[in-house]
Amino acid sequence: MVWLKNYFPKYSVVKGGQIGPDERPPWGELILLGLQHVLAMFGSTVFAPLVCGFDSNTAIFCSGIGTILFFIITGGRVPSYLGSSFAFIGTITTATGYKYAPGAGLNENIPIAQGGIIVAGAVYAAIAIVVLLIGYKWVEFLMPPVVTGAVVMAIGLNLAGTAVGQAAANSFDAWMAFTTVLAVAFFSVYGPGFTRRVPILLGAIVGYVINLICGYAGAGPKIDYSGVGNAKWIGVPLFHTPKFEAHAISLITPVVIILVAENIGHIKAVTSMTGRNIDQYIGKAFMGDALATILAGSLGSLGVTTYAENIGVMAVTKIFSTLVFITAAFVAVIIGFLPKFGAIINTIPSGVFGGLSIVLFGLIAVSGGRIWIENKIDFTNPRNLLTAGIAVLLGTGMTGDLKVTFGPIAFDGIGVSTIAAVILYQILRGYPNKQPASNEGTGGRMTPEKCEESADYELYDLHQDIPVKRFRLD
């Protein structure tokens, strides 16, 4: 039982300066820091389920429970918060046919989506077991930066039509979307202090307040609060029983590739910030995220992922104590039992929601390009050019009801893009160098192909722009 005794860190108290994962600040500061992490994750964790027609309170509750589960499985060694993953949005809305509108209510096909989320979590868990047994390098081999960047960009572009549709329902919604986008941009660039970490939440508040004022002034439709009045202050989150349908499963399961990419990127980011190599915990981090996703799907929420918003907070505060995330998780669980809060979230107007969608989906698309830039991908190499170009076009063009079907299994644009990128890159791995493999005749400079083979590796997150160091593949 010695291993169990040493499974969790023995936290020592540190006052001031950088605080490591196995350390903690004084209790008073610990609680405030936990609340700060709740604020950081809040906007994205609420937004993702809302656009899919899921209950926001259930999602917040599952994010807290999932974070606690992640903490237990990783032995408190990996500082991370698990929130609703944006990677599920496109596949779930396609599989269920749900379209968001103020007052539209819950998605009637939540159980069908749950089945796909659970299967995705199970596949994720299988990958985690393989990583625990043989290591994680094979994951980086299958998904180098050119593949990851193409998939991430395809996700953002595939969702673009949905964002524009929400923002352009009518002229008033279009102006509210524009106002919301400007608010988010202002807080992202000019916001003082911590406001730069939560521009989505603050932008939503600004857009909502302006929309509310316009409604009472007669310049636009009023916000309907009937649902808020009928909601209870305290109640159990809405849970559902999952249904397993091959069509939904085939659409949702490929999201696993994005979850793996996000998790690896976050491990690398924490390693660079703390100066401690935690690559040894990648397998456990995969398993924690996978089981948390299975749990969320079983209860009626979106799958979860490690959040870059919270990693960004750590980068600013230099406080990496995993106990801070346990504090945040318990606060999230408490919020999950406040239905009145969820009803208020559901009153967000379509224009404001469309503005937020434009920002978030746009950032997803651009972040794919950032992956290529940060890793110096050589697009004069046909292998990279074909892999990225074909994958992005498939993800962008296959929208609406366009799918590739194999019997009962169907793949939407994101699924086809992901599979095409992975397979095509592996097929083209044998493409010969265009220049000499050695440095001879190149003035001592490495050839583009050689630079690519030893390129720094960075996985960029879908949620937030955070500065991280890069790690070499070789």
User: pLDDT by residue (tens digit) across 38-49?
Assistant: 877 877 788 788
Express as a percent the part of the chain with pLDDT over 90: 24
Let me know if residue 446 belongs to a domain: no
Give the residue-averaged pLDDT of 143-151.
82
> What pLDDT does residue 473 have?
41
Looking at residue 444, its pLDDT comes to 43
The whole-number average pLDDT for the span 327-345 is 85
Average pLDDT over residues 442-453: 43
Q: Report DSSP letters for 154-214, one per residue.
A: HHHHHTHHHHHHHHTSSHHHHHHHHHHHHHHHHHHHH--GGGGG-HHHHHHHHHHHHHHHH
12 is a domain residue: no
- Give the pLDDT confidence score for residue 126 in this predicted structure: 96
> In the prediction, which pLDDT does 316 show?
67
Question: pLDDT digit string (tens) for 104-127?
Answer: 778 999 999 999 999 999 999 999
Residue 7 forms part of a structural domain: no
Residue 224: inside a domain: yes
3-state secondary structure of 246: helix
Average pLDDT of span 7-13: 87
Q: Which of 268, 437, 212, 234 is nearest to 337 (CA)?
A: 234
Asked whether residue 171 is assigned to any structural domain, the reply reads yes
**Mean pLDDT for all residues in the chain:** 80
Position 425, amino acid? Y
Whether the pLDDT of residue 269 is over 60: the answer is: yes
- Domain membership flag for residue 209: yes
Q: Which carries the bigger pLDDT value, residue 263 or residue 242?
A: 242
Q: Does residue 458 lie within any of the structural domains?
A: no
- Confidence class of residue 171 from pLDDT cuts 50, 70 and 90? confident
| Percentage of the chain exceeding pLDDT 70 | 84
Residue 217 domain boundaries:
24-428
- How many domains is the chain built from? 1
**In this predicted structure, which of 57-71, 111-125, 217-231, 293-307 has the lowest mean pLDDT?**
217-231
**Which helix (H) or strand (E) segment is 456 a member of?**
strand 456-457
Domain annotation covers residue 473: no
Report how far apart, in Å, the C-alpha atoms of 93 and of each of 82, 240, 449 are: 21, 17, 40
Higher pLDDT, residue 115 or 267: 115
